[in-house]
Chain A
Amino acid sequence: GAGVSQSPRYKVAKRGQDVALRCDPISGHVSLFWYQQALGQGPEFLTYFQNEAQLDKSGLPSDRFFAERPEGSVSTLKIQRTQQEDSAVYLCASSLSLAGITDTQYFGPGTRLTVL
């Protein structure tokens, strides 16, 4: 079946613009995660949804970052008033939310955001 998809794959924004990044998880996956990956670094957690409920947003770097998943499927990560330090690859992952070790997170290809 189809994997996790993200759009757009590349986004260039001028400093101060708002951007919206979309994630389509694997059908039936309950959990959805957003990670930020700076160049040459490992991904860092931003936020986590279980269905439509945002259970953890501890990784969002500022109040300019906002995520939603209104119907428990597609999710959007919005960044307001983008800054150069927001330039990164934004990864989305989804999982079935089974208990324990078997709850594998499947990742999308990411959106590379460049803020000029």
Chain B
Amino acid sequence: AQTVTQSQPEMSVQEAETVTLSCTYDTSESDYYLFWYKQPPSRQMILVIRQEAYKQQNATENRFSVNFQKAAKSFSLKISDSQLGDAAMYFCAYRSAYYGNKLVFGAGTILRVKS
């Protein structure tokens, strides 16, 4: 079974600065998808960014980018120019390309943004 580990329970960043959230995963599969989801206090989960394992190029979405290291099974999220609205719980998630469509989530990282 696949597992996802987020080793940082909580992170803080100053407004306008950059922060990196860590995620590692364990799988024996060669093809899969990785996601970062944001969950603000209202609880509605929102997709931030996604990455296909067979693509070497790191995904970017505006201020959000990932550092995907397949050999190391690492998938970190970098948030540039942090904004107050970025404050939320961030979840890293894994989805198999072979078996079903369920997401396997990490425990999450609380991101606090200081003004």
The answer to whether A and B come from one shared complex is yes
List the interface of chain A (C-beta within 8 A of B): 3, 31, 33, 35, 40-45, 48, 55-56, 59, 89, 91, 93, 95, 97, 100-101, 103-110
Q: How many residues of B contact A (CB 8 A)?
A: 24
**Cα A104 to Cα B47 with chains together (Å):** 8
Out of B47, B50, B107, which one reaches A42, CB within 8 Å?
B107
Choice from A41, A89, A93 contacting B43 with Cβ under 8 Å: A89
| CB of B19 within 8 Å of the partner chain | no
Alpha-carbon distance between A89 and B45 when the two chains are bound, in angstroms: 12
Q: Closest Cβ of chain B: how far from A2's Cβ, in Å?
A: 13
Number of cross-chain contacts by CB at 8 Å: 63
CA distance A103 to B44 in the complex (A): 18
Given A45-B103, A105-B47, A110-B43, 16 more A-B residue pairs with CB atoms under 8 Å apart are A33-B102, A42-B4, A42-B6, A42-B91, A42-B93, A43-B105, A48-B102, A55-B100, A56-B100, A91-B45, A93-B45, A97-B101, A100-B52, A104-B47, A104-B50, A109-B43
| Contact of B30 with A by CB under 8 A | no
Interface of B is mostly: loop
